[in-house]
Structure formats: structure tokens, C-alpha cells
Structure 1
């Protein structure tokens, strides 16, 4: 009797501990209209720890539907009463019907411990399907599907979209080309990658799939936003067909209330810095370069950058924006810099401030106030800078100024210029003394040569003076300077990127040409050109003068822009000097 009780007890315990597998599929309803989305819930429940899932969930043939969304969640727990491990996996599918009538949904399959489990097929009723050119409009064998990683985002927050191509014939994948990402006013789209992935032979039942593109979306308006379909072409030997993916709706949440007054549209996580990148001391009425940099992760490319606040202590010019941003599957990262040209108006310490800046952090769901960034700059007057220089620096400055004023544009006198040094170097001083001595000796030789020439002229009998007009022409020819020397020197300065000396040399060229025609001001010279060279030359001279002024005070000068400016100078002054 006791052995029977023991046998029954063991039998009962084995029944309790025996695991089981349940695979079920449930639609949200059995009858749908043409505009409804069919939502299926597939539940896989495993009781017992001895089971091992060997394959992924295999889907039935969905050729009569557009798969517009997928999602899954898994959890597990231990039943305290039976001490049994229970794991549960729930997969949800969103399908868009392509035809009306009674549609059969086949069995879902999964293999566990070498045994295939499947659901029973069932029918649903579809009424009045609205025909769309959204999926496989040109080919029944190939269709596109767009999946959105996160359909519930904040305004100006990024979400990742993945474009896949499905087909029963893998050979069709290489024929899909010319992918065009969606465009919409309330949406900013940035490509992440157009690299094709490896082919998944059983991603959707009996259909293979391949990832064609990954791109990033930034919705900039709150509400339900419909993402337009992505189009592509399927090229065959006979024709070229167009296919369009499904449309996807996402819920764009409005940013929480209580934002700072100066919050604009920055969503992510950012840092702001401001720095003076000018190497020389700040001097009154001379420009310095100040850079405002925003770095971090978020909507960097379409956010409003904090500007430099206006102040009577300085003047601000429009900045040059440069960006170093990478777009990846984890978001948009990098930095954007605004390079400002600022001219101080007074000597002493001036404070350069940025506008107040705040951003919304989606991870913490809070606004972050960074306030203002402050940069203190000590500015000096011209006299203060001259007084602060050492004796050696003054000698170097005198030598450089002397070399720069030598009236021979062919000689590269700037190569003799002495750079400022913090230490005293005897070789620099000796070089300066040698140069000055050589110039002094050359000056004495020049004076001696002039005296000899003057004596020779006194011996030669005077020639006939000729008429007044002939004399004026002769004087003009003697005063005429070879412009090719200036052109060559300007080209050398442009190649060496010595733009400050470039514009100084141009002013010398302009003054020299005006002096040849006995003109003093720019307006008089323009009138002279219009009368003698034509209105076209005068207008070209006016336009070039404006370009010179704009490029001269630009914070950053490009080699291409300087090359075009030099060509314009050579072209115009060659015409004028004819």
C-alpha cells in the first residue's frame, strides 16, 4: 500500500513539473474595412527550463498584405507554487491589406527541441480595399517595406528608419536601384547608410529580405506625422519599373511646458563654448576672431545656434558656419562652429557674451539651461602696444616696415621679415644690422651713380622740347609702371597666403594707376574711366572695388576666392593700362 502511494506521489510530481509549449495567434478583430490595419498578436509561452528554441518565429505568406510594422517583447518568471520557469514572448505585427474579401492567414511555425509547433490558420474579412501605389506598384515579385525604430518621439528628436526589400527571388535584389528618401515640409531626413546588408533568406515566411538603406528622421511638428513612402526603381532587361514602400505614421509628442524663454529648438544633449582664436594681442579698431562652438548629440544641423550678444564695446560681423557632424545609427553627433569677426571699440577689458541657450534632453525629459558663455578680452590702444614692445621687437618692427615700403614689387622683401619671438636671439639682431648696413651701402652707391649721371647730362646739349602735348605724353610714358611686376607680386602673396600684404599691394597698384592718369579719388577715377574707357570698364572697376572691400574684411578667406579676385584684378587693370 505504501509503495502505491509513493508511485502516485511521484507521478503527480512529474505531471506538475512537466513543461509545455503554447503558440497562439490572435487578431484584434475578424472583420476590417479597407482603411483598417490588421493587428496580430503571436504569443509563445514555454513552461519548463528544459526547452530550447532552435529557430526564429517563421511567418506565413503575407503576399496579400503590406507588413507596415513589427515589434516584440519577452519576459520570464518562476511560478512560486510549482517552482516552474515560465518564459513568454509576444510578437505584434501590423498588416495593411491589399485586396478585399475573405483572406486566409496561414500558420506561424517555430522549432523547439527538434519539434515543430504551429498555429492553426484562420480567415479574416476585408471590405473595400482602397488601391494604393504604395507597395509593389510595378512588380508583384518585389516590394519595399519601411520600418521605424521608435514611433513615439518628441518634436525635433531623431528616430531611425530602415528600408528593406522583400522578394521570393534573390536575384531581384541587385536590380533595385535609385532609392529616393521621403521629402516633407514637417520632416528633416538625413541618410545614414546606403550599404546593402547580407540577404536574410527567411525573414518573412518564404520570402528573402535585404536592408537597402538606413536614414534618420527629425519631425519638427507635433501630432501624428505620416512618413511618405520611399521610392526605388527595379531595372529589368525589357523595362524599368518603380516601386514605393509603405507609409508609416508616428506620434510626435509636443515638448513639455515650462521651457525657458530663450529656448528655441535644440533637442538632445549639448555643450557651448566661446574662444578667441586670434594669436596677436587685441587692438582697438582691429578685428579679432571669436568662435562659438556647439558640440554634442541631437538635431545639430537644423537647430538655431546661440549668437554673440550685441554690445557698445564691440562691433559684430556675420559669422562663417562650419560643421563637423556624423550621422549614425545612434544619432547625430559632432560640433558646429560659428566664426565671428569682432572689432573692439575701446581699450581695456571687454566682455563678449553669447545669447542664453537651453535645450531639451529627451533621456531625462527635462530642459537644461546653460545660460550665457562669457569671454573676457583685454584690448589695447596702438600706443600701448607700441610701448609694451622690447628694444629688439622695435628694431624688428622698424626693419619690417622699412622692407615693406621698398618700391619694388618683384623683390620678395617680406621674406626678410622677422617674426616676433619671446626670447632674445643674437643672430636675428646681427641679421638686421647686416641688412641695414647693406641697404645703407647700396644707398651711397646709388647717390654716387646719380651724381655721375648728372654730370654727364650737363655735357650733352639740350634737345628740342617739342610741343606741350608731346611733352605730356612723354611724361606719362616715363611715369608708367610695368603692371606685370605688380601682378607677379600679388600672385606670390596669394600663394603664400599673406593676404594682409596682398591688399596693401593692391592699394599701391590702384594708387599708381590713378597717378598715371592724374586722378586722386576713386569717384574722379571712375568718371575718367567712363569718359575715356567706356561705361563697362567703369562699372567693372566699381564692382571690383566692392569685392576687394568685402574680401578684405572677411573673417576667413578661401584660396579659391582669392584666386578669382586676382584674375579679376589682372583682367581689369590690363584693360585700363592699354
Structure 2
């Protein structure tokens, strides 16, 4: 009996201790093409505080590979089910194989509590490059997306920042990244922060790939437990192909919110404040609508949380609100204000109270719930008779003016926009504004009549003026063109000296368009035909050759000062011959 009891205890102890140190390695796939990058993920997970890591991660012999880049992160959290502290170390290594066929990757080693732990060795198969794939010029194999989330342990509905980076050996590939699609999933809410690309970072020590930040966004997990953030996708666009690339996935440890939440708590996580007020200072009349606004300010999951509402009451009717927001990304979530504009109709006169529903939120910094309770707005509602009796003489005049403007409204002058709002004094500024508008319309009418009369006079003079011969007209065009062309030549010389090549090519296009317009020739083909007929075939062919050359130079990825110098000489020679 004693022997059986000892065996059972030994078995239980072995089961409890099993899995307290988990050390594994996972490749992104097993078969690779010749130019594929092998991405390895090494995960070391230590359960409990009695284990101590004594050595860094030791790699096996990787001489059969080129190390493209490495990265690592540490994460410590507590398992919500077992209350055991867990330390997680994740390392990513990107390798480029030097040979084809089966390649063996040995064991990674680490020492914990004087015991050496190692991963299992494995083999990957690297295939020869298919020649047809080379013809397709699939550059997506040389561009990689990586999603990084530094804080992977958050509360439910608490935001965490995600950064999307692109890696490539070819700098020219960075400008080809288009159509970034952020992850979508039911158990997360995603809020974009910025799609502005950062400066290109050079390769890190020992690596061969440059990097660039493409996007920054916030992730709000709306359920607890382990939540996986799906990958981000993008496209690599070239003139002939469009390739899709995707990033890695990331698993978040979403902590469950503490017990003891108030009954009014929905899903607000952050730090907020609530206020209620009336948007207008006008007198409130029974059975007439009034705008009441609930304003929520703060920072957190501001755009995804359940807002407080106006509580129902027999003293008033309330309609669904119009939601507007003024928010921006903050360091701890989305910050700003959200306004819920309600239309409320009082059912009776007298003093009535408009209350909001109770509102609570969870503050992750203090790890406690905050109950703001109800917010109340006191209204003094008047009957129709009391509203009329309370009006002053000025207010009565304003009311008659508004009624008059409503009855005489026309499509030509929208007089309802000049209505006088009810105030305690006469609005001399509005009256003067109305008079100024009328005077302005009258002045514009006089100026229009004067311009029309002057135009008719110029038209008569131009018709009576002699048009001259065709030769005189061509000479006049040549004189104008010659002056304009010389101005363009000087401007292009300055752009060439300053190195502003993008502006240089824009001015060349403007020069070509100006020359063609002065000869009344729309397209380049029509202008070339015109040059062949009146200037000679040689000049026409030179013009067409130049048009092709300028397009090639414009879209060339590398532009040299010597090439631009030669191109400027061709421009001066060609357009000087055209303008003769």
C-alpha cells in the first residue's frame, strides 16, 4: 500500500512539473523556393518564478545560411486561470539558404537552473528556382511585412499599439507598396492612427534588409483570453504585375476585467467625464422641441464604447440622437470628445429634470471602476401664453421680422437665412449686414453691365482691325515663340544646376505644350506631321525621337547630372530649330 501511495505521489509531482519550461522552434513552412527567406520563430516559455534563465539563446551552426535579420521580445504576464507567473521570450530569425535540397537546422540551446534545454532539429527543403517564375519578375519574394505589438498583455477593450513594417533588400521596392488592408475580426476593433511612411532605415548590424514603417494602428480586443490578431495584407505593384504580401499573426493575452463591476458598467475602458447641457439659450416652450447634448470626453476606447443615454420620463419625449465626434490618437487610446445630440419635447410646463442613464468606466492605470452616476439638466419650461407675455418689445419686433422673411422667401434671395434670433436687444449688426449684402449685389450688377459694354466695344474694334497676311501672322508667332523659348531655356538651366530633376521634366512638358499651342496643334503626332510638312522630315523625326527619349529619362530610377546636361543640350537645339 505504501508503495502504491509513493507511486501516485511521484506521478502527480511529475505531471505538475511537466511543461514548466517550454522551448520550441517553428518555421513558417517546410518547402522553399531558391530565393525564399526562411523565417524561424523560437519561443521559450517559463512557468513560475522558481526558474531562472542563466544563458542567452545559443544558435546552432548556421553557416549554410545568410542571416538576413533577427529580432526578439520579452513578455511577462499572469495566467488568469492558474494565477501562475509566465515569462515568454520570442525570437525571430530570417535566413537565406546558400544551397539547394535538404538543409538541416540544428538545436537551439538555453540553460535554466543549471539544466540545458534544446529544441528539436529539423530539415527544410529548398527547391531550384523555376525559370518561368524568373520571367514573371515576382518581386514579392523580396518584400516582407512584419507586424509588431510591444504591449501584448492588456485588459479587455484596452488599446494596444501595432506597427506595420516592410523589409526589403532593394530600396526601389518600398515605393511599390500599395493597398494596405488592416486586420478585421469580430473579437477586435481596429482604429488607424497613421498611414504616413517613415524614412527608410538602413540594415541593422549583421543584416542585409532595409526597413520602413508603413502604418500605425490601435487594436482593441473586445473579449478576454488569448486573442489572435490576423495578418495585415498589402500589394506590391509593378508595371506588369500585382503581387499580394501578408504579415505575421500576433497573439495577445487579454486579461479579464476585475470582479465587482457596477451594474452601469458596459464596456468603457479608459478615463472619461460626462456632461449634459442645452445647446441654445432661447426660452423653452412646452410641446416645442429643444436640443439637449450629452458630451463624453476623455481617452480610451472612446469611439467603440456604449455611450450614456437620456433616461425615459413621462415629462418629455426623447428621440434617437445624432452622434458626432472630434477625436485623435493618444498615448493611451483615442482621445477627444463624442457628442450625442438629442431632440427632446417637454410634455408640460414648469420645472422638469432631464437625466442621463448611469455611466461607469474601468481605469486600467488605477485598476479600478469609476462610477459617475447620473447627470441632470434642469429646465424651466414655459407655456405658450407665458412665452408671449415674457417677450420684450424688441423681441416682438424680431418675431414679426422673422415671420415676414419666411413669407417673402424667394429662390433668388434666401431671406430665411437673415432671420433674427430671439435675443434681449435689437441686432443692428444683422440689419447692417443685410443692407451691405443688398448694396453689394447692386454694385456687382453695375460692374457686370460696365464689363459687358466694354466687351462689346472691344469686339467691334477687333473686327474692324486688319488681320494681315498669313506670312505676317507666322512672323508674329515666331517672335512670340522665340522669346518664350529663351525664357524656358534659362529656367531649365537653373533647375539642372539645383538638381530639381522632377521639376525639370515638368517644365519640359510645359515647354512642349506651349510650343504646340502656339502652332495650334493639339497632339504630338499632329505637331510632328506639321513639322514634316513645313519644316522638313528631319526635324519631324528628331522631334519624335526626343519625345520618346524624354519619357525614358523621366521614369528612369537613377538620374545623373551628366545625363540631364546632355538632355538640356538636345532641348535647346531642337526647340531653337523649331522656332526659326
- For the aligned pair, the TM-score class normalised by the smaller chain equals 0.5 to 0.7
- Cα distance in 2, alignment partners of residues 130 and 329 from structure 1: 45
| Aligned-pair CA distance for 1:408 | 9.8
- What is the 5 A alignment of 1:197-236? 197-203=198-204, 205-206=206-207, 207-236=209-238
Pairwise CA distance, 1:346: 1.1
Which residue of structure 1 lines up, in the alignment, with residue 453 of structure 2?
Answer: none
Aligned residue among 77, 81, 95 for 2:92:
95
Per the alignment, do residues 383 and 178 of structure 1 end up closer, same or farther by CA in structure 2, a change over 3 Å counting? same
> Which of 254, 258, 283 in structure 2 is aligned with 1:281?
283
- 2:42 counterpart of 1:38: yes
- 1:533 alignment counterpart: none
Note the 1:377-396 alignment, pairs <5 A. 377-394=379-396
Q: Which runs of 5+ in 2 are unaligned?
A: 1-20, 29-39, 45-52, 57-61, 77-86, 109-116, 127-137, 431-580
**Distance in 2, Cα, partners of 1:285 & 1:329:** 46
Q: How much has 1:198 moved relative to structure 2?
A: 1.6
Question: 1:249-264 alignment to 2 at 5 Å?
Answer: 249-264=251-266
Shift of 1:156: 0.6
CA gap of 1:102–1:419, structure 2 versus 1, over 3 A, is closer
Larger radius of gyration: 1
* Residues 410/38 of structure 1: CA separation in 2 closer, same or farther (3 Å cut): closer
- Residues 200 and 286 of structure 1: is their aligned pair in 2 closer, same or farther, counting only changes over 3 Å? same
Deviation by residue 1:269-292 (Cα, 9 ceiling, x = unmatched): 111110001231000000000000
**How many residues are paired up?**
353
Q: Can you list the C-alpha shifts for 1:437-475, whole angstroms capped at 9, x where unaligned?
A: xxxxxxxxxxxxxxxxxxxxxxxxxxxxxxxxxxxxxxx
Find the residue that maps to 1:174 and give its secondary structure. helix
Matches within 5 A, 1:110-509: 125-127=120-122, 139-203=140-204, 205-206=206-207, 207-328=209-330, 330-394=332-396, 397=399, 420-423=422-425
After superposition, the Cα gap between the structure-2 partners of 1:338 and 1:399, relative to the gap in structure 1 and judged at 3 Å, is: closer
Q: Deviation string for 1:297-327 (max 9, x for gaps)?
A: 1111111110000011110011111111113
CA-CA distance at 1:164 after TM superposition: 1.2
What is the root-mean-square deviation of aligned Cα atoms in Å? 4.4
For the structure 1 residues 34 and 202, does the alpha-carbon distance in structure 2 shift closer, same or farther, using more than 3 Å as the test?
Answer: closer
1:493-535 CA deviation, whole Å, 9 max, x = no partner? Answer: xxxxxxxxxxxxxxxxxxxxxxxxxxxxxxxxxxxxxxxxxxx
Q: Give the 3-state SS of the residue equivalent to 1:376 in structure 2.
A: strand
Distance, in Å, in 2 between the alignment partners of 1:353 and 1:292 is: 10
Query: Judging changes above 3 Å, is the alpha-carbon distance between structure 1 residues 105 and 209 closer, same or farther for their aligned structure 2 residues?
Result: farther
* 2: CA distance, partners of 1:235 / 1:425: 61
User: Residue 171 of structure 1: SS of its match in structure 2?
Assistant: helix
Whether the 8 Å CA contact 1:61–1:204 is kept in 2: the answer is no
Corresponding residue number in structure 1 for 2:494: none
Q: CA deviation at 1:241?
A: 2.2
Q: Tell me the TM-score normalized by structure 1.
A: 0.53
Structure 1 residues 345 and 392, CA, compared in 2 at 3 Å: closer, same or farther?
same
Contact 1:308–1:355 under 8 Å retained in 2? yes
CA distance 1:175–1:413, shift in 2 (3 Å): closer
**Gap change, CA 1:292 and 1:101, over 3 Å in 2:** same
> 1:202 Cα shift?
2.5
Label 1:381 to 1:177 Cα distance change in 2 as closer, same or farther (>3 A).
same
Mapped to 1, the partners of 2:417 and 2:181 lie a distance apart of: 55
Q: Structure 1 pair 283/334, CA: closer, same or farther in 2 (3 Å)?
A: same
Task: Name which of structure 1's ranges 282-291 and 195-204 shifts more when overlaid on structure 2.
Answer: 195-204
Q: Are the aligned partners of 1:360 and 1:368 in contact in 2 as well (CA < 8 Å)?
A: yes
